[in-house]
Amino acid sequence: MKIHKEGYPTILIALALIGLINFLSFNYLSYILIKISVLLVSLIFFYLILHFFRNPTRDVKINNKHIIAPSDGKLVVVEEVFENEFLKEDCTQLSIFMSPLNVHKQWYPVNGEVIYSKNHDGKYLVAWHPKSSLENERSTIVIQTKENQKILFRQIAGAVARRICNYSSKGDKVDQNMEAGFIKFGSRIDVFIPKSSKIKVSLNDIIIGGETVLAEM
């Protein structure tokens, strides 16, 4: 299993804590069943951490007409909204909720140039809360395609997620096969697309980052 680079510090800290707990357990606890139980729970916990930071290789098919999913998860919002941070226009919002069991790296949804990238401090409401898109810690990235379409996507921290890694800088030339960032633990991604786009997914669909086509432009 390939591990994402963002996972190494967390994995090393977890390994040190697990080692310490089991050292104390085997040296100071009397009952062998308790020692074995502590060891098994520690191993399961460590496996879950490794599983969270897995970095799968995806067969990303680059297509200028497609808006692909930036992340794994479940589609929890499909609605028309007014985007007021950068686009300043009516568009369609697609929101993907990521549980701690999902892959948490992000891909760029379209090919083009990053024309806006900004990190915002904020709250840590649960990721499915309606106000999390505007009030939680978040990063907003806007890509302008060769056809001059502007696609905005937003990495949003949740009640558990406390660190957003945004790899985008204004002026970057990007494509759908490139990694856009990483969010640690449960979180959400909002994608704002032109109203004229043809939606290819439905509410509650299970989404695969880098593979699922959200819409066609």
Q: Which residues are identified as catalytic? A: 187
Q: Long-range pairs for 35-44 at CB < 8 Å and ≥24 separation?
A: 42/18
Q: Are 188 and 153 in contact, with CB atoms under 8 Å apart?
A: no
**DSSP label of 118:** E
> Which residue type, as a one-letter code, is found at position 117?
S
Structure tokens at 81: 């909204």
**What is the rounded CA–CA span in Å between residue 135 and residue 23?**
43
The helix/strand/coil state of 125 is: coil
**DSSP label of 109:** S
Kindly list the distances between the CA atom of residue 167 and the CA atoms of 84, 114, 163, 211, in Å, as whole numbers in the listed order. Answer: 23, 11, 13, 20
Kindly list the distances between the CA atom of residue 118 and the CA atoms of 86, 87, 152, 207, in Å, as whole numbers in the listed order. Answer: 10, 14, 11, 25
Gap between the terminal Cα atoms of the chain:
35
Q: Are 42 and 22 in contact, with CB atoms under 8 Å apart?
A: yes
